[in-house]
A and B are shown apart, each in its own frame.
Chain A
Amino acid sequence: MKSFTRYIPVLYVTFLMIPIYWLLNMSFKTTNEILSGFTLYPHNFTLASYATILTDPSWYSGYINSIEYVAINTIISVGVALPAAYAFSRYRFLGDKHLFFWLLSNRMAPPAVFALPVFQLYSQIGLFDTPWAVALSHTLFNIPLAVWILEGFMSGVPKELDETAYVDGYSFPRFFFRIFIPTIAAGIGVACFFCFMFSWVELLLAKTLTSVAAKPIAAVMTKTASASGYQLGLLAAAGSLTLIPGAVVIYFVRNYIAKGFALGRV
């Protein structure tokens, strides 16, 4: 019994890796090999699909667009969430509890519900087809999340820290930027991770709010299904490349992942 349970995580991780392997496997095959039948590994190893993506602007600009709006979104979300989370963790004020739950309830709104009105809203104010539209619309679910995570981390910092700083003559902004933010650096890292994650993986709003200029990579990928037949190799290569930013971000926050989840409080 004991020896069997040890293999559960191994089996589970293997299960997780199989589709990823299959995607990579496809991306290194030639179109001929893909269409000619089932092979467990690429027999004619080729980087042609990757070469196409990295040299064709209509492909690689998708990555730039995606990274652009994800970065803008993460900066805005965490930036405005920091003071708010501080307020929630340190003060009681009129309607604080209601506000907190209203914020969280936006996490429950299905993007499908908001797709059309958000499209109209951003067309009206002239931001349609810019990274700003996608970045701003993603704050709908990322700001509440960032406030939630940061509030958890800030509540773990004793109030005495604030009081001592004020006694020492620190002004609020100086205390906040010089002392408080470095203290909760780990929390900010975790919040950035989650904002990055949810903005990076979302497609429905990103696709609705862009047409040509700011098209995210995820939306560019849908063209492989229609344009010139079903180019599985290209699709797989584009998919494989979308794994990289995620993997890089995970690597940086690997020591905080468990902690970040632990602080999720309802």
Chain B
Amino acid sequence: MSAKIQNNKAWWLVAPVFLMVAFNALVPLMTVVNYSVQETFGDNVFTWAGVHWFQEVLHSERFHSALLRQLLFSGIVLAIEIPLGLGVALTMPRKGPWVSVCLVLMSLPLLIPWNVVGSMWNIMALPDIGLLAKVINGLGIDYNYTRQPVAAWFTIVLMDVWHWTSLVALLCYAGLVSIPDAYYQAAKVDGAKTWAVFRYIQLPKLKHVLTIAVLLRFMDSFMIYTEVSVLTGGGPGNATTFLSIDLVKIALGQFDLGPAAAMSLIYFMIILFLSWLFYTLMMKNEDA
């Protein structure tokens, strides 16, 4: 790192990236900020509304419950996917022909368009003809994800676990492969048990990739839209109306630009803040 040369001309190399991302990020962001402080009655007439929309959104019951559902969803998903992904990575073969097979099959869900993921689980969970519904009903449990909130949640969480656990597993696997063999040999000489190897060699080495995995999964689960919108559309009732779904309903469905813009900004801030918090906390643990 210290060997880098100070050279402000490097900006010329970065300029295209800077301009393109700025065009795509700053212009829309400014539009959102603009809407969030104005009132409109159509016909492109705007009047100044100050922080009115922010107050309205922050005090609305609807926003609170959508935020709570979103946090709950991210919490559940992280609690399942991180340990499961780590477990799969630890038990995966390291050498031989099965490695490629495992990697390819595991990456497959990551490359399916998100609405197709929603459709797949829709087909799985359809009453009477879906495999999932059939199996659960076969166990004597009444299951209908279009009517029961619990069933809808179960299906969505299962879908997300199916969709994204591979990402965690692949990240962890990459981290595990990069641990030098010498560490394991030293552990063998010392007669360390599997648990000790995991606790004192693998886990510390994986801290970095685990941080990335938690951050990515948190951000993406917090932004989830397409899959849920295809599968349940936010229902039954509002049981699975997460923040993003509510936001799209307000912005593109009702064209309430002011509240939608204010909500967008608050939403973005929450993601930025929580991601920063996760990152700092995990990095602090690493230093300690």
| B113 contacts partner chain A, Cβ-Cβ < 8 Å | yes
The answer to whether B268 touches A93, judged by C-beta atoms less than 8 angstroms apart, is: no
| B105 contacts partner chain A, Cβ-Cβ < 8 Å | yes
The answer to whether A239 touches B223, judged by C-beta atoms less than 8 angstroms apart, is: no
The answer to whether B5 touches A23, judged by C-beta atoms less than 8 angstroms apart, is: no
Given known A-B contacts A87-B14, A159-B3, A258-B170, A222 and B115 have beta carbons under 8 A apart: yes
- Of the residues B7, B109, B257, B275, contact of A108 by C-beta under 8 Å: B275
- Of the residues A94, A117, A222, A243, contact of B27 by C-beta under 8 Å: A117
> Which of A38, A108, A201, A265 neighbours the largest number of chain B CB atoms within 10 Å of its CB?
A108
In the complex, which range does the number of interface residues on chain A fall in?
A: 35 or more
Given known A-B contacts A8-B88, A262-B174, A266-B279, A246 and B108 have beta carbons under 8 A apart: yes
| A213 contacts partner chain B, Cβ-Cβ < 8 Å | no
Bound-state Cα–Cα, A121 to B29, Å? 11
The answer to whether A86 touches B113, judged by C-beta atoms less than 8 angstroms apart, is: no
The answer to whether A258 touches B103, judged by C-beta atoms less than 8 angstroms apart, is: yes
> Which of A6, A106, A113 neighbours the largest number of chain B CB atoms within 10 Å of its CB?
A113
CB-based A-B contact count at 8 angstroms: 266
| B143 contacts partner chain A, Cβ-Cβ < 8 Å | no
The answer to whether B106 touches A13, judged by C-beta atoms less than 8 angstroms apart, is: yes
- Of the residues A6, A34, A250, contact of B107 by C-beta under 8 Å: A250
Which residues from chain B contact A49 at a C-beta distance below 8 Å? none
| A71 contacts partner chain B, Cβ-Cβ < 8 Å | no
Which residues from chain A contact B41 at a C-beta distance below 8 Å? none
The answer to whether A90 touches B5, judged by C-beta atoms less than 8 angstroms apart, is: yes
The answer to whether A254 touches B100, judged by C-beta atoms less than 8 angstroms apart, is: yes
| B237 contacts partner chain A, Cβ-Cβ < 8 Å | no
Bound-state Cα–Cα, A258 to B150, Å? 36
The answer to whether A114 touches B28, judged by C-beta atoms less than 8 angstroms apart, is: yes
The answer to whether B129 touches A90, judged by C-beta atoms less than 8 angstroms apart, is: no
The answer to whether A12 touches B88, judged by C-beta atoms less than 8 angstroms apart, is: yes
Bound-state Cα–Cα, A35 to B178, Å? 51
Which residues from chain A contact B21 at a C-beta distance below 8 Å? 103, 106, 139-140, 143-144
The interface bits of chain B over 111-140 (1 if a CB of A lies within 8 angstroms of the residue's CB, else 0) are 111111001110110001111001000000
The answer to whether B10 touches A91, judged by C-beta atoms less than 8 angstroms apart, is: yes
Which residues from chain A contact B267 at a C-beta distance below 8 Å? 110, 112-113
The answer to whether B134 touches A115, judged by C-beta atoms less than 8 angstroms apart, is: no
The answer to whether B123 touches A208, judged by C-beta atoms less than 8 angstroms apart, is: no
Looking across the interface, which residue of chain A has its beta carbon closest to that of B30? A117
The answer to whether B4 touches A91, judged by C-beta atoms less than 8 angstroms apart, is: yes
| B102 contacts partner chain A, Cβ-Cβ < 8 Å | yes
Rounded to whole Å, the gap between the CB of B256 and the closest CB of chain A is: 11
Which residues from chain B contact A211 at a C-beta distance below 8 Å? none
Rounded to whole Å, the gap between the CB of A148 and the closest CB of chain B is: 10
Rounded to whole Å, the gap between the CB of B107 and the closest CB of chain A is: 5
The answer to whether B113 touches A108, judged by C-beta atoms less than 8 angstroms apart, is: no
Bound-state Cα–Cα, A99 to B260, Å? 28
Bound-state Cα–Cα, A99 to B212, Å? 19
Bound-state Cα–Cα, A109 to B137, Å? 40
Rounded to whole Å, the gap between the CB of A210 and the closest CB of chain B is: 14
Which residues from chain A contact B177 at a C-beta distance below 8 Å? 258, 262
Bound-state Cα–Cα, A134 to B130, Å? 34
| A118 contacts partner chain B, Cβ-Cβ < 8 Å | yes
Looking across the interface, which residue of chain B has its beta carbon closest to that of A256? B103
Given known A-B contacts A94-B11, A111-B223, A203-B226, A235 and B119 have beta carbons under 8 A apart: yes
The answer to whether A83 touches B252, judged by C-beta atoms less than 8 angstroms apart, is: no
The answer to whether B13 touches A203, judged by C-beta atoms less than 8 angstroms apart, is: no
Bound-state Cα–Cα, A147 to B90, Å? 29
The answer to whether B124 touches A19, judged by C-beta atoms less than 8 angstroms apart, is: yes
Which residues from chain B contact A107 at a C-beta distance below 8 Å? 219
> Which of A15, A258, A260 neighbours the largest number of chain B CB atoms within 10 Å of its CB?
A258
Looking across the interface, which residue of chain A has its beta carbon closest to that of B246? A112
The answer to whether A80 touches B20, judged by C-beta atoms less than 8 angstroms apart, is: yes
The answer to whether B123 touches A22, judged by C-beta atoms less than 8 angstroms apart, is: yes
| B189 contacts partner chain A, Cβ-Cβ < 8 Å | no
Given known A-B contacts A84-B14, A92-B6, A93-B11, A13 and B102 have beta carbons under 8 A apart: yes
A-B contacts besides A140-B24, A204-B248, A261-B174, 19 pairs, CB < 8 Å: A5-B91, A16-B105, A19-B162, A22-B124, A23-B123, A37-B129, A40-B131, A81-B17, A84-B14, A84-B18, A92-B7, A93-B10, A203-B226, A204-B225, A204-B226, A242-B112, A246-B108, A262-B177, A266-B208
Residues on B facing A (Cβ under 8 Å): 3-11, 13-14, 16-18, 20-21, 23-25, 27-29, 31-32, 84, 87-88, 90-93, 100, 102-116, 119-121, 123-124, 128-131, 134, 162, 165-166, 169-171, 173-175, 177-178, 208-209, 211-212, 215, 219, 222-223, 225-226, 230, 243-245, 247-248, 251-252, 257, 260, 264-265, 267-268, 271-272, 275, 279
